[in-house]
Amino acid sequence: MDKTINITLKVWRQAGPKAKGHFETYKLNNISTDSSFLEMLDVLNEQLISEKKEPVVFDHDCREGICGMCSLYINGHPHGPDSAVTTCQLHMRRFHDGETITVEPWRSNAFPVIKDLMVDRRAYDKIMQAGGFVSVNTGGVPDANAIPISKKNADEAMDNASCIGCGACAAACKNGSAMLFVAAKVSQLALLPQGKVEAASRVKAMLGKMDELGFGNCTNTGACAAECPKCVPLSAIARLNREFICAKFKD
């Protein structure tokens, strides 16, 4: 038999980007501890609809920890109290019977609230677009050993490529910096031969776009890496800085 808990939710409600937001409190009873956090929110919305009230707007898609859309700030942590998981991978067994859970949207100037818990994260897409393309021929399937890459570099590149662009790093940073995100995207190519041709222009363009979009400066506190659901290492920011300094020297 499933264990169930009763919880109190304090949920941020905001009608739109220009509207003044506020917290609303809801009671939920008999929530299965085996349910995910998003399934719990589905139960809340079903309850609100049955009461002829407007459901809570929140973002989600794959519910498999891949897309990065489930961007919720839960009890003071991006994606909740568990480490190395997204909100959709967080389960209600992580909470206690009678607990009050505070749910907010990402807090960053570059991620304006669309409604309730949904924010506009297109700023990350614009940073990616600023990074441009690679000039290496990608036609056909090359032999696995055609471009020799050391295992160390390949593993490190894959670690950085695991970034899903959810925005937790910017939400965790007190300056709202996107440095870890940009570092991951720069590093995954900087470590590989395929990314060398545009390396200098890429890092300058992506950092320039980050500043243009209103993201803050790095705080050097490491909160971004601590809250990253894919454990992108803080060392990526050091590589980003090296790549940027080298690019400026080339100028």
Task: Judge if 96 and 154 occupy the same domain.
Answer: no
Instruction: State the DSSP code for 195.
Output: G
Query: Structural domain of residue 84, as residue ranges?
Result: 4-104
pTM: 0.92
Q: What is the pLDDT of residue 1?
A: 53
Q: How far is CA 90 from the centre of its chain?
A: 14
Task: Judge if 99 and 164 occupy the same domain.
Answer: no
Backbone angles phi, psi at 25, to 5 degrees: -105, 135
Q: What is the pLDDT of residue 237?
A: 97
Task: Judge if 85 and 200 occupy the same domain.
Answer: no
pLDDT exceeds 60 at position 107:
yes
Task: Judge if 127 and 165 occupy the same domain.
Answer: yes
pLDDT exceeds 90 at position 139:
no
Task: Judge if 154 and 225 occupy the same domain.
Answer: yes
Element of type H or E holding 24: strand 22-32
Query: Could you tell me what percent of the chain has a pLDDT over 90?
Result: 88
Task: Judge if 130 and 223 occupy the same domain.
Answer: yes
CATH code at position 74:
3.10.20.30
**Domain membership flag for residue 39:** yes
**Domain membership flag for residue 143:** no
Task: Judge if 60 and 15 occupy the same domain.
Answer: yes
Task: Judge if 125 and 219 occupy the same domain.
Answer: yes
Task: Locate the DSSP E strands across 105-177.
Answer: 113-115, 118-119
Contact of 142 with 181, CB cutoff 8 Å = no
- 2, β-bridge pairs: none
Terminal CA-CA length for the chain: 67
Q: Which two tokens stand for residue 22?
A: 């506020």
**Domain membership flag for residue 75:** yes
pLDDT exceeds 90 at position 141:
no
Q: Express each pLDDT in 146-174 by its tens digit.
A: 778 889 999 999 999 999 999 999 999 99
Q: Express each pLDDT in 71-103 by its tens digit.
A: 999 999 999 999 999 999 999 999 999 999 999
C-alpha 167/C-alpha 67 separation (Å) is 11
C-alpha 45/C-alpha 65 separation (Å) is 22
Q: What is the pLDDT of residue 64?
A: 93
pLDDT exceeds 90 at position 142:
no
**Domain membership flag for residue 112:** no
CATH code at position 242:
1.10.1060.10
Task: Judge if 97 and 173 occupy the same domain.
Answer: no
| Across 42-66, average pLDDT | 97
For tokens 């919720």, the residue is 72
Amino acid at 180: L
| Across 36-59, average pLDDT | 98
Rounded mean pLDDT of the chain? 94
Q: Considering Cα of 201, then 242, then 122, then 213, what sign does the dihedral take?
A: negative
| Across 208-229, average pLDDT | 96
Task: Judge if 199 and 246 occupy the same domain.
Answer: yes
